[in-house]
Amino acid sequence: MSKKYDVIVIGSGPGGYVCAIRCAQLGMKTAIVEKRETLGGTCLNIGCIPSKALLSASEKYEEAEHHFEGMGIETKPKLNLKNMMKFKDGVVEANTKGVEFLMKKNKIDHLKGTGEIVAAGKVKVGSDTYEADSIIIATGSDVISLPGIEIDETKIVSSTGALELDKVPGSMVVIGGGVIGLELGCVWSRLGADVTVIEYLDQILPGMDDEVRKEAQKIFKRQGITFKTASKVTSAKAGSKGVDLTVEPAAGGAEEKLSADIVLMAVGRKPYTEGLGLDKVGVALDERGRIKTDQFFETNVEGIYAIGDVIAGPMLAHKAEDEGVILAELLAGESGHIDYNLIPGVVYTWPEVANVGKTEAQLKEEGTEYNTGKFPFMANGRARAMGMTDGFVKILACAKTDRVLGAHILGPNAGDLIQEVVSVMEFEGTAEDIARTCHAHPTLTEVVKEAALAVHKRALHI
Ligand code: NAI
């Protein structure tokens, strides 16, 4: 069978399915190819959504276990891991079914199987070949391991296996103190595992504001996680009892032996291009295996485009979504642009970590003069009433123009709070714009306002 489309999108994660919806909205005859049984890609099936379900559930468990009593609620929670996993699976199912519904609603054909580009304008799925004016690659990314360490998804797991454990491990070693390591490390620590995070760098959360990194590590340590920073894992071998690891100082030195019931490998992800036939059609990759595109997301082969984790930029679902929308609009003859400096990043630990724009280190490096405003959650009435006073909001504004250049939040609901600053930055607003905007009382958003006031040394509640 051969069918002709305006657009074929390969991969149904947030980049691919959102792009397909926008293409269909703009009147293009669209198909989406997916090899997994369910739509939604890594994010909905084995990434953002199931991890957030387990983070929410384990957060409640931990609160009931340790914080309810201080609020006058006496209870002894009992973990039923099987049911917690069922809850998580239900959340995933609702989301993936939701995408299926959206595909039908927008009359997007769902082509089931692995998509291979056999020539410009031609995609083979199973034994069928389909034609399209534009092919969009949105195949995302896959986990990476360390040399010589095999992920078996039972004892040495990636994020995928860490979302499926059938019992709480007595001990867990997490390799990599980045986003995945901390989020899933927190889940299993809250549920009772003895978690050790081994991070190659001096501090966890590379790329984030240094003060946030330091303070976050302190808080997670207080919550019970052990950190071994400036350390590298040189071997990990799974045996019948658990996993034996060898760890060395990153700068070299005496090795140390560790063992754990479960090891979580979280040292990053790589673009997923396997089986796409890119070498045959001549699509160029960069030195890190990412598909090279121009500013309009077109590869070196006319009519073949790529978005999301498979190209350069942060591996984030919302970055992929924005690229998908813009590409659809460009294909429809409209214009579009994405400001990569304004893509927020969020780590869904508790407290959460969120950032947008530049860090102090980046501003110093580029020689930009800036003012800093910082305000702690401890001084906010709502945070106190919630019993969640850890962390702070930091706003960085240009010393000459007061334009907001960056914001870094460690605290309750940081992932929601950052959005105000993102919007202000989109409109090229200033710290004073935030400071003079009325913020409801009592809310956590007042901490953002106070940090903006602090840029001009006039915070009110400190
Ligand atoms: P990551 O890049 O965030 O962190 C990897 C960490 O491993 C880094 O801190 C790195 O220094 C460390 N590392 C590297 N080699 C090491 C070694 N040999 N020994 C010890 N530590 C080592 O990668 P992660 O956490 O695997 O996440 C992958 C991608 O998925 C990221 O791009 C992340 O942004 C994305 N993601 C985003 C989420 C969110 O937005 N909340 C949630 C989960 C993933």
Q: Do domains 156-267 and 342-455 have the same CATH topology?
A: no
What pLDDT is recorded for position 1? Answer: 54
Strands (E), 319-425: 345-347, 352-357, 370-376, 392-398, 404-411
Which ligand 1 atom sits nearest the alpha carbon of residue 309?
A: 32
Task: Specify the DSSP element, H or E, that contains 41.
Answer: helix 41-46
Atom 9 in ligand 1: which residue has the minimum CA distance?
Answer: 178
Q: Which of 6, 46, 106, 22 is nearest to 334 (CA)?
A: 22
**Is 110 known to be catalytic?**
no
Both structure tokens of 359: 């860090």
Nearest atom within ligand 1 for CA of residue 250:
19
| Model confidence at 276: pLDDT above 90 | yes
Q: Which residues contact 72 (CB under 8 A, 6 or more apart)?
A: none
Q: What is the Cα–Cα distance from 198 to 56, expressed in whole angstroms?
A: 24
Q: Residue 48's pLDDT is what?
A: 98
Cα(315) to centroid of ligand 1, in Å?
A: 10
Round to whole Å and give the CA distance between 307 and 13.
11
Is residue 268 in contact with ligand 1, taking CB distance under 6 Å?
A: yes
Q: What's the CATH code, domain 2-142+270-338?
A: 3.50.50.60
Q: Whose CA is nearest to atom 44 of ligand 1?
A: 180
Asked if 330 contacts 134 with a C-beta cutoff of 8 angstroms, the reply is no
Binding site membership of 50 for ligand 1 (Cβ less than 6 Å): no
Which residue minimizes the CA distance to atom 1 of ligand 1? 178
Taking the CA of residue 182 as reference, the ligand 1 atom at the shortest distance is 25
State if residue 213 touches ligand 1 by the CB under 6 angstroms criterion.
no
Q: Which two tokens stand for residue 310?
A: 């498979």
pLDDT at 262: 98
Within its chain, how far is the Cα of 250 from the centroid?
26
Q: Is the CB of 200 under 6 A from ligand 1?
A: yes
Residue ranges of the alpha helices (H) in 179-259? Answer: 179-190, 210-222
Q: Is 294 a residue whose pLDDT tops 80?
A: yes
Residue that has been written with the tokens 């969020």 in this structure: 346
Q: Taking the domain 342-455, which CATH number applies?
A: 3.30.390.30
58 touches 191 (CB < 8 A): yes
| Residue 236 Cβ < 6 Å to ligand 1 | no
Q: Give the separation between CA 354 and CA 365, rounded to whole angstroms.
A: 21
* pLDDT attached to residue 333: 98
- Please state the domain extents for the chain: 2-142+270-338, 156-267, 342-455
The residue from 66, 67, 441, 461 that is catalytic is 441
Q: Tokens at residue 287, please?
A: 């030195």
Q: Is the pLDDT of residue 435 over 60?
A: yes
Measured from the CB, is residue 421 less than 6 Å from ligand 1? no
On whether the pTM is more than 0.85, the answer is: yes
List C-alpha distances in Å: 170 to 156, 262, 428.
Answer: 14, 8, 50
CATH of the domain spanning 156-267, picked from 3.40.640.10, 3.40.50.720, 3.40.50.10470, 3.50.50.60:
3.50.50.60
Query: Is it the case that residue 178 has pLDDT exceeding 80?
Result: yes
Q: How far is the CA of 289 from the centre of ligand 1 (A)?
A: 17
pLDDT tens sequence across 211-255: 999 999 999 999 999 999 999 999 999 999 999 999 999 999 999
A 10 A CB-CB count for 396 gives: 26
Q: For a ligand 1 pocket test, name from 186, 246, 269, 321 the mutation site with the most ligand atoms within 8 angstroms of its C-beta.
A: 269
